[in-house]
């Protein structure tokens, strides 16, 4: 990707004749303003070079998912099948609650269902008899309607008993608490024999998925905006952003053995004023990374970029956007609007607006007015 260059716009200093004194025939030209002198360290030349963009960010590890598990029923802990710090597998049995009451409730629900089903059979038999007796006048219409209502009532009792049975089966199932996903588990939050429920302050345990694991890093909103706009522009042109190799440095300077893959930007900018959080996913098969660790993210582009570069100290910004003050071919100061790209150390790439070899003014000389003649002192 080569930074585009615009044609050089040369400004001309227009000096008209100025009358002097009372003699209108006096055509002596006005004296040109004295040239201002800039030190050599106040001027930089636009350079062209090829780089492989890279960045370094402070990051923090974050679990892909974590959960605080509480029981869905009230019961005493009968057994716990884990120790803090262990890695557990999805669907592994971790806690058993006392099932005695729930087994009894389940047996009662089954009996209630059998009774309701028997009532339905009796009610249906009565209704069949009523249907045959009503045409013969042996029973009243009221007795017939009552028999039919009894059937409907008995069937409703069966449906209620079935729902109760299902609920008690579910409650019994909930006495066995399984791992919802694979991960590293915390120490138990309760002891065997404790009465626990959904209202318990402490969870039975906490579980964090460690493989893979996220590393988050914050960037300035300005950097994020340039990245997003550049991505849109390249997409419209049918191009793609250069692929980035993302690595990790552990506390103490040790390199992490696995590379990461950028996932997404955060959904809002509310995490910190003026910052946007990006999220990168890293494999963590050995569980080296734990949630909450401070690490260093290193990014390195796999494709080189050639372009024009200028010191960041030469770039100014106003309502029109970024601009620099250049020394034109005629030796005067001129404003030049530019489109900046990526940063490389203390320099900034220029996508449009400057060409290699042009001279820009650094801090200390930027306050001079446009059109002023200048000379650069020898170093």
- Tens-level pLDDT at each residue, the chain (379 residues): 333 332 222 232 222 333 334 444 455 555 566 778 888 888 999 999 887 777 788 899 999 999 999 999 999 999 999 999 999 999 999 999 999 999 999 999 999 999 999 999 999 999 999 989 988 888 889 988 999 999 999 999 999 999 999 999 999 999 999 999 999 999 999 999 999 999 999 999 999 999 999 999 888 777 777 677 767 776 777 766 667 788 999 988 899 999 998 888 777 766 566 788 888 999 999 889 999 999 999 887 767 778 889 998 899 988 888 999 999 989 899 999 998 877 777 888 898 899 999 999 987 666 778 888 988 887 6
Q: Tell me the fold of 36-52+306-376.
A: 2.40.420
Q: Tell me the fold of 99-174.
A: Helix Hairpins (1.10.287)
267: tokens are 């959904």
Q: Tell me the fold of 65-97+175-208.
A: OB fold (Dihydrolipoamide Acetyltransferase, E2P) (2.40.50)
Say whether 121 sits in a helix, a strand or coil: helix
Going across the sheet that includes 176-178, the strands are: 176-178, 93-97, 75-80, 195-196
Q: Are 80 and 94 in contact (CB under 8 A)?
A: yes
Closest CA to 352 of 332, 338, 366, 336: 338
Phi-psi map region of 167: left, alpha, beta (phi>0 left; psi -120 to 50 alpha)? alpha
Distance from C-alpha of 24 to C-alpha of 273, rounded to nearest angstrom: 65
Domain spanning 55-63+209-303: CATH 2.40.30.170: yes
User: What does pTM read for this prediction?
Assistant: 0.62
Closest CA to 29 of 19, 43, 42: 19
Closest CA to 295 of 222, 217, 367, 242: 217
Omega within 30 of 0 (cis) for the link into 120: no
Pairing mode, strands 54-63 and 213-220: antiparallel
Distance from C-alpha of 359 to C-alpha of 291, rounded to nearest angstrom: 49
**Domain edges within the chain:** 36-52+306-376, 55-63+209-303, 65-97+175-208, 99-174
Pairing mode, strands 36-38 and 374-376: parallel
Examine domains 36-52+306-376 and 99-174 and report if their fold is the same.
no
294: tokens are 């401070």
């Amino acid at each position: 990707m080569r930074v585009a260059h615009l044609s050089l716009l040369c400004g001309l200093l227009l000096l008209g004749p100025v009358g002097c004194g009372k003699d209108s025939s006096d055509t002596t030209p006005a004296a040109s303003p004295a040239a201002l002198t800039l030190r050599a360290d106040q001027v930089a030349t636009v350079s062209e070079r090829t780089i492989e963009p890279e960045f370094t960010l402070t990051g923090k590890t974050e679990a892909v998912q974590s959960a605080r598990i509480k029981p869905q029923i009230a019961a005493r802990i009968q057994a716990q099948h884990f120790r803090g710090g262990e890695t557990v597998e999805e669907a592994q049995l971790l806690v058993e609650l006392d099932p005695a009451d729930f087994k009894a409730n389940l047996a009662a629900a089954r009996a209630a269902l059998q009774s309701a089903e028997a009532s339905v059979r009796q009610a249906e038999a009565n209704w069949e008899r009523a249907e045959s007796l009503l045409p013969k006048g042996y029973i009243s219409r009221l007795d017939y309607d009552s028999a039919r209502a009894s059937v409907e009532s008995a069937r409703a009792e069966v449906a209620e008993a079935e729902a109760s049975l299902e609920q008690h089966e579910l409650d019994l199932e909930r006495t066995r608490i399984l791992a919802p996903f694979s991960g590293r588990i915390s120490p138990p939050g309760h002891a065997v024999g404790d009465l626990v429920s959904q209202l318990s302050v402490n969870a039975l345990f906490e579980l964090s998925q460690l493989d893979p694991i996220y590393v988050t890093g914050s960037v300035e909103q300005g950097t994020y905006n340039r990245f997003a706009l550049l991505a849109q522009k390249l997409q419209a042109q049918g191009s793609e952003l250069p692929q980035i190799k993302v690595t990790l440095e552990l506390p103490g300077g040790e390199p992490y053995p696995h590379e990461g893959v950028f996932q997404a930007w955060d959904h809002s900018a509310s995490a910190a004023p003026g910052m946007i959080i990006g999220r990168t996913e890293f494999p963590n098969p050995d569980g080296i990374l734990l949630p909450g660790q401070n690490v260093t993210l290193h990014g390195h582009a796999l494709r080189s970029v050639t372009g024009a570069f200028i010191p960041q100290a030469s770039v100014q910004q106003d309502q029109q956007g970024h601009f620099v003050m250049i020394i034109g071919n005629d030796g005067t100061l001129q404003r030049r609007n530019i489109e900046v790209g990526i940063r490389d150390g203390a320099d900034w790439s220029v996508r449009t607006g400057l060409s290699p070899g042009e001279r820009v003014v650094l801090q200390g000389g930027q306050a001079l007015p446009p059109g002023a003649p200048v000379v650069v002192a020898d170093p």
